[in-house]
Amino acid sequence: MVREIIQAVTSLDILLSPGEVVRLTPNELHFSNPAAYNDIYNHKNKWDKDHLLYGAFDQDTSSFGSIHYSDAKQRRDMIAPFLSRASILRMQDVIQERVNVLCDALARQFAAGDTKGKSSNLMLGFHCFGVDVIMAFCYAKNWDATKVPDFQSDIVLASKVAIRVITIRKYSRTLVKVMRHIPVWFGKNFGTPMTKAMFLFQAALMDQIDEILRNPASLENAPHKIIYHSLLDPDANKGRPLPSRLSLWHEAQALFGAGSDTIAVAATTASYHILHNPEIQQRLVNELRTAWPDLEEVPRYEVLEKLPYLTAVVKEGIRLFPGGAALPRVVPPEGATIAGTFVPGGTVVAQWFLYVLRSPTVFPDPDAFIPERWLGEDAKALEASLVSFSKGPRSCIGMNLAYCNMYLVIANIFRRFDATLDAERSGDLSVVEHFEPVFKGPHLHAYCKPVSD
């Protein structure tokens, strides 16, 4: 019952018909006309985020959780160089190392089966990979979620519960406050294995922050630049006081949350469609084998991102991102016109990105996985409608890292393995909407048989 109510509240957008505007709460409007997207999420609109949803995360002083544009901008300016394309190119080996660990795990799992091999839970594998990349890239920590047998990592399983709780916290500030005041020692020792895992993880992030605040020189021992080099750089802070311990912790959690599950959903979506379409898989494998003839000589990201078909597959996977929240914004006092309708100041407005990403007028045959749409003459124009990372001043700041993860993980899986769908253990891509989409049915499973050349 509770599940149905939550689903009804969070998936109401699905019910909208074309051109409709729906009042979700007394002060919140949702639009279905794809033209509304650009009216809400564009570079000129420095609108606040809605505190009802974003307050539920209790990360108010992070880039993601800041309600006001000005606060978010200060923080984004500090983080942007760390997540820039140049930085990703420089540190791509950190990501490739995590891909290698994922591939080793897939090969081990396959070998554990009988003659047919054993299939792997790709969804959990990609989620573990996402966690390991964020931990390695941002914090220089080897969390090694990917090494846990069958990808049953506590923190990954706990994240899936936590995102469901966000939906409840959205409607209960009391719950947010109660959870904020649960002491870490209590959370680490009592409760379910899931809650314990979450507290342990949060404590690990805090311990690193404490260590660095106690001894800032320890940053120099990091094997590569980490996020705290940027956040604690006096120049990047432009004379303002350095971020507090709490703010650093908010940021650490925000980057972890924003950067791990999202990549799992995108990589699962792409793999699901590749594995269901033998012709697409064959064309992808052919391109990869030509560009990557010797298995031992793994190509750099700069090479992979120039491959047209791989690029088209990655983009189509990101376009078909199966869900996620409509991102609510507050209309400024002077009001605004959205899809031809005047909306007074103070109103909360949102559009679910699937109204653009699955619009038949923007992407013909929108539910089909058609990499070719990114290879034609119209491809450049379509880019403007690829809104999976949102648009405007609060759009995704981790896009470069997300793309690098996607290229590396898809290229490595489909070049190093003869991958086939395990239809018996796999469901479809239908999701329950929380802030991030949560797959309803059995996760995507595939037999990943290593190739020898």
Q: Which whole-number Å values give the CA distances from 374 to 262, 308, 409, 426, in the listed order?
A: 22, 9, 20, 28
- Other Cβ atoms closer than 10 A to 283: 18
Looking up tokens 């018996």 gives 424
Q: Compare residues 109 and 412 and give the one whose CB is closer to ligand HEM.
A: 412
Residue 153 φ/ψ region, left for φ over 0, alpha for ψ in the -120 to 50 degree band, beta for the rest? beta
Q: Where are the beta strands (DSSP E) in 104-207?
A: 119-121
Q: Which one of residues 80, 163, 396, 432 is an interface residue with ligand HEM (CB under 6 A)?
A: 396
Q: How far apart are CA 200 and CA 194, in angstroms?
A: 10
Q: How far apart are CA 41 and CA 350, in angstroms?
A: 9
Q: Which one of residues 31, 126, 272, 321 is an interface residue with ligand HEM (CB under 6 A)?
A: 321
Q: How far apart are CA 6 and CA 56, in angstroms?
A: 15
- What does the buried/exposed string (b/e) look like for 53-77 if buried means 16 or more CB atoms within 10 Å of the residue's CB? bbbbbbbbbbbbbbeebebbebbbe
Q: Compare residues 107 and 382 and give the one whose CB is closer to ligand HEM.
A: 382
Minimum distance from residue 432 beta carbon to ligand HEM (Å): 17
User: For the residues of 51-95, what is the DSSP string, one character each?
Assistant: HHHHGGG--TTSTTT-SSHHHHHHHHHHHTTTTSHHHHHHTHHHH
Minimum distance from residue 407 beta carbon to ligand HEM (Å): 12
Q: Compare residues 140 and 401 and give the one whose CB is closer to ligand HEM.
A: 401
Q: Which residue is nearest to ligand HEM (CB)?
A: 398
Minimum distance from residue 111 beta carbon to ligand HEM (Å): 30
322 binds ligand HEM (CB under 6 A): no
Minimum distance from residue 161 beta carbon to ligand HEM (Å): 21
Residue 95 φ/ψ region, left for φ over 0, alpha for ψ in the -120 to 50 degree band, beta for the rest? alpha
Q: Compare residues 83 and 284 and give the one whose CB is closer to ligand HEM.
A: 83
Size of the site for ligand HEM (CB under 6 A): 25
Minimum distance from residue 95 beta carbon to ligand HEM (Å): 10
- Other Cβ atoms closer than 10 A to 223: 8
> Does the annotation flag 138 for ligand binding?
no
27 binds ligand HEM (CB under 6 A): no
- Other Cβ atoms closer than 10 A to 362: 19
Using the rule CB under 6 A, give the single segment among 168-176, 190-198, 251-259, 369-377 that binds ligand HEM.
Answer: 251-259
Minimum distance from residue 134 beta carbon to ligand HEM (Å): 6
Q: Which one of residues 87, 119, 311, 388 is an interface residue with ligand HEM (CB under 6 A)?
A: 388
398 binds ligand HEM (CB under 6 A): yes
401 binds ligand HEM (CB under 6 A): yes
Neighbouring C-alpha atoms within 13 Å toward the C-beta of 323:
18
Q: How far apart are CA 344 and CA 244, in angstroms?
A: 37
Q: Which one of residues 226, 232, 402, 438 is an interface residue with ligand HEM (CB under 6 A)?
A: 402
Positive or negative CA dihedral for 391, 393, 394, 395? Answer: positive
Q: Of residues 252-281, which lie at the interface with ligand HEM (CB under 6 A)?
A: 254-255, 258-259, 262-263, 266
CA angle 125, 130, 131 (to 5 degrees): 100
Minimum distance from residue 260 beta carbon to ligand HEM (Å): 8
Q: Compare residues 397 and 448 and give the one whose CB is closer to ligand HEM.
A: 397
Minimum distance from residue 390 beta carbon to ligand HEM (Å): 4
Q: Which whole-number Å values give the CA distances from 97 to 102, 109, 303, in the listed order?
A: 9, 19, 17
311 binds ligand HEM (CB under 6 A): no
76 binds ligand HEM (CB under 6 A): yes
Q: Compare residues 117 and 243 and give the one whose CB is closer to ligand HEM.
A: 243
Q: Compare residues 262 and 281 and give the one whose CB is closer to ligand HEM.
A: 262
Neighbouring C-alpha atoms within 13 Å toward the C-beta of 90:
12
Looking up tokens 């947010």 gives 176
* Binding track, positions 28-67, relative to ligand HEM; x by CB under 6 A: -----------------------------------xx---
Q: Which one of residues 304, 320, 397, 421 is an interface residue with ligand HEM (CB under 6 A)?
A: 397
- Binding-site residue ranges: 396
What does the binding site for ligand HEM look like in residue numbers (CB under 6 A)? 63-64, 72, 76, 134, 254-255, 258-259, 262-263, 266, 318, 321, 327, 388-390, 394-398, 401-402
Annotated binding residues for heme, written as ranges, equal 396
